[in-house]
Structure 1
Amino acid sequence: MTSLPPVLILGARSDIGLAVAHRFAAAGHPLQLAARHADTLDPERADLALRHGVSVTLHEFDALDTAGHGAFVEALPQLPGIAVCAVGLMGTQEHSAAEPEAAIAVLRSNFEGPASILAHLANRFEARGSGTLVGISSVAGERGRATNYVYGAGKAGFTAFLSGLRNRLAGRGVQVLTVLPGFVATRMTEGMDLPQKLTAAPEEVAEAIFRGCSKGRDVIYVRPIWRVIMAVIRAIPERVFKKLSL
């Protein structure tokens, strides 16, 4: 029986990251969980290993320590077959607008850090000639809106990066999957008034990612209705759009 390749989850402490870990572990994939203060994830590591009967290792990772990303990849016990980047920081638009340093942290967490680590992995996957890179972006990146344009700008950059990376690696044996979840009920959105019909659970996102990887997809909207919603929002003329409270 051929063993399945390990799945590296960057930002494994997040609700989506842990849901993705459970979904792939349930299918028999070994896991590499990467996060800051990774040792504090030992209870989650033990639970995943016991529940699903797979190997689970912990790896110290800081998305903003871009200078250390190359060494991080080199130190992995095995190059993963799939890497899922669930790193992100929403912050608040009010704080980002008032404090430029807060805005920079949001931009780096949603674009620079994720793009850097996936770039390192992309080079290794390309040299091997196989692998899947998954970037969790956001529909917020499809058009700047007054209520979240700093977060949206970071995600817009990440979406464009993933698109270009996918184009570069086409025909090289490496899949690049862009995931656009829409609203997700997580700790990051706790307290927000989210519309139930447009809000996914972390497990729903994980299932969409698992299926997207297995089917070789390029871009997935976790709930298809978001494809329609964002097409409408993108089509609104700028002179009208700037008068709306979105």
Structure 2
Amino acid sequence: MSKILIIGATSALAHETAKHFATEGADLLLAARSPEKMTAIASDLKVRGAGRVETFEFDASDLHRHQELFDATFEAFGELDMLLIAHGTLGNQKLCEESVAETLKELNTNFTSVVSLLTIAANYFERRHRGVIAVISSVAGDRGRKSNYVYGTAKGAVSLFAQGLRNRLAASGVTVLTIKPGFVDTPMTAKLRKGLLFAKANVVGEGIYRAMKQKKDIVYLPWFWAGIMLVVKSIPERVYKRLSLG
């Protein structure tokens, strides 16, 4: 059975994805900041059929503990087949505009910490010549918008980094999957007004699971966001900069 490390395991998308792996009897190591939430999720996954479920209290912003997390995973499972990086924050754009410190904090959480984790994982899987590295980016990284360009910058950088990593690891037989969700109804977006484009977390979680199993390179979730972003990216900058896209 697969041995999977899930970082940001208490997020709605990570939990929904983990449910599908649990039904296969996978061994799961959950890493997140809240031990209470992880305990509840671990119990749920065990009921659903997971083999072993271990937890590791972990703040991704603490870069010095990243290697420790992987060491704990190897100690628990001996090896690793898949990694899902699902942590992140949707920061306050206005606050970021007013504060360099706040901007750097968001970039550290959503980009720098991801790069650190991806680098450690890439070196491990490259030596094994197999494995799946999946990272949740966002459609927000495809083009900057005034309402969330700090978040979008981080996600766009993550997508670009993953693209380079995918090119590097292709010869080693390692899959690097970039996941680009659109709007998803989760606690992270609780303050946003919901519209027709909002998807349910369980739908996106199933999409992530299938993409990891099928060893995809890039996936937009739900699928229609690929078309939407194709149109958005085709708009000339002289026109785009005058648009009010929220």
| TM over 0.5, shorter chain | yes
Retained in 2: the 8 A contact 1:30–1:55? yes
Range moving further from structure 2, 186-195 or 143-152: 186-195
Residue 206 of structure 1: how far off its partner (Å): 1.5
Within a 5 Å distance, the mapping from 1:22-41 to structure 2 comes to 22-38=19-35, 40-41=37-38
With 222-231 and 152-161 compared, the bigger mean Cα shift is at: 222-231
TM-score by length of structure 1 reads 0.94
1:148 maps to 2:181 = no
Deviations 1:47-96 (A, max 9, x none): 21123252110012221111221222122222321110001111121111
Q: Percent identity?
A: 40
Q: Aligned to 1:47, what secondary structure does the other structure show?
A: helix
Deviation at residue 40 of structure 1 after TM alignment: 4.7
The equivalent position to 1:17 in structure 2, one of 14, 20, 37, is: 14
What is the match of residue 64 of structure 2? 67
2:137 maps to 137
| AA matched with 1:25 | A
The count of aligned residue pairs is 242
Question: Which structure 2 residue ranges, 5 or more long, are not aligned?
Answer: none
AA aligned opposite 1:75: A
CA contact (8 A) 2:134 2:176 kept: yes
Gaps of 5+ in 1: none
Which amino acid in 2 is paired with 1:60?
A: E
Question: 2:122 maps to what in 1?
Answer: 122
Describe the shift of the 1:147–1:40 C-alpha distance in structure 2 as closer, same or farther (beyond 3 A): closer
Matches within 5 A, 1:170-209: 170-196=170-196, 198-209=197-208
CA distance in 1, matches of 2:171, 2:198: 35
Question: Which whole-Å CA distance do the structure 2 matches of 1:100 and 1:185 have between them?
Answer: 29
Note the C-alpha offset of 1:39: 5.3
1:136 shift after superposition: 0.3
CA distance in 1, matches of 2:204, 2:223: 12
**Which 4+ runs in 1 deviate beyond 4 A?**
none
